[in-house]
Amino acid sequence: MKTRITQLFGIKYPIILPGMSWISTPELVAAVCNAGGIGWLATGPLTTDQTRASIKRIRELTDKPFGAGATLLMPGAKENAEVLLQEKVPVINVSLGKCDWIAERAHKYGGKVIQTVTTVKHAMAAEKQGADALQVTGNEAAAHGSQITTFCLVPAIKEHVKIPIVAIGGIADGRGIAAAMALGAEGVGMGTRLATTKESPLHEKTKQAHLTATSDDTIYSDRFDGLWCRVLKTKTSEKTIRQGMNLFRAMIVGPKIAKEMNLPVVKVVLGILAQPENMVKLMHMATAFDRIKAATEKGDLEYGVHLVGQCTGYIHDIPTVKEVIEKAVREAKDVSKNLAVVLK
């Protein structure tokens, strides 16, 4: 499979592992890269030292191109982005912030930048800021997807930009790949599918929840972490979303997060105050942080809340990463052949 995305990133298949906190670890990233795709290391919950060590670990596990995320709204994100640039990470996935300064510096060493976007406006801005590609995240996706479905968002953005698009949201097999390509995408992300693999560090109990959930068993709300976000429907997630932001809990959890990320509490507080427009979002994120981690690492769905896409409804097994990718590629080719006959 050859597209502008495979050529841009130097990969065999246009299949991407998005940067999912506590899931897109060096081991899973390397497994995807070794299977012909490419993965983004999730740096959101990492300190700068942990980010640097994770990059080193990926390079020990694979000699293929790889990427890492820079979620610029999060405290400590700029410092982590600096590490990515210093380590000359081949691909940097920028989200929740402008990519201009990262793109300028990455391009100097031959690096590429892919910006995550959820609207046409943001897509056009990212192209002007120097992004080499766009990660277009539709409504069906786990976590922070658009209010617009992938089926409508991809072609809408395609009309306004020239750089290649990676479609994310509702894609877990070859049918999704073929559909995304028909819409104008040149690559796909399969977060929920690749999180449900043998190499994934996602807790076994949470993987099993993927297998039993239907496409109806998710909730899309902005009352969990302050952004529009899709999570697994459980008694806990429903209660959490009904309650909305809990400032008292945020005040308790905030210092814990700062400690885990090796950031001074005062710096986190000052960062929030310096960006009053983001204050509510950051307080929501502080409240959500340990709930997401609990579901991901401990399989605790009584207290924790899990981020999952609607495609969980047609995920029924836990194969290896290689099996997922090779099967998806075969399916996409078969679908394309069948369509060629039908549309002849």
Higher pLDDT, 342 or 150: 150
Residue 269, pLDDT > 80, answer no
Q: Phi/psi class of residue 123: alpha, beta or left (left: φ > 0; alpha: ψ in -120 to 50)?
A: alpha
What is the share, in percent, of the chain residues with pLDDT greater than 70? 87
pLDDT of res. 124 = 98
Higher pLDDT, 274 or 200: 200
pLDDT of res. 279 = 53
pLDDT of res. 280 = 55
pLDDT tens, position by position, 289-327: 889 999 999 999 999 999 999 999 999 999 999 999 999
pLDDT of res. 277 = 53
CA dist., res. 111 & res. 57, Å (int): 19
pLDDT tens, position by position, 245-266: 655 555 555 565 556 555 566 6
pLDDT tens, position by position, 175-188: 999 999 999 999 99
Domains of the chain: 4-201+315-342 (3.20.20.70), 205-297 (no CATH)
CA dist., res. 95 & res. 205, Å (int): 29
CA dist., res. 233 & res. 128, Å (int): 38
CA dist., res. 297 & res. 206, Å (int): 9
pLDDT of res. 125 = 98
Confidence class of residue 287 from pLDDT cuts 50, 70 and 90?
A: low
Q: Are 91 and 113 in contact (CB under 8 A)?
A: yes
Q: What is the DSSP string of 204-258?
A: HHHHHHHHH--TTSEEEESSSSSS-EEEE--HHHHHHHHH---HHHHHHHHHHHH
Q: State the virtual CA torsion across 265, 271, 273, 277 in degrees, nearest 10.
A: -140
DSSP assignment, residue 111? -
CA dist., res. 255 & res. 25, Å (int): 24
pLDDT of res. 246 = 56
pLDDT tens, position by position, 194-247: 999 999 999 999 999 999 999 999 999 988 887 899 999 999 999 988 876 655
Say how many Å lie between the first and final Cα of the chain, rounded: 22
pLDDT of res. 170 = 97
DSSP assignment, residue 313? G
CA dist., res. 245 & res. 284, Å (int): 6
CA dist., res. 268 & res. 275, Å (int): 11
Q: What is the pTM of this model?
A: 0.90
Residue 284, pLDDT > 70, answer no
Query: What rounded mean pLDDT belongs to the chain?
Result: 91
CA dist., res. 234 & res. 249, Å (int): 20
Report CA Rg, the chain: 19
Confidence class of residue 342 from pLDDT cuts 50, 70 and 90?
A: confident
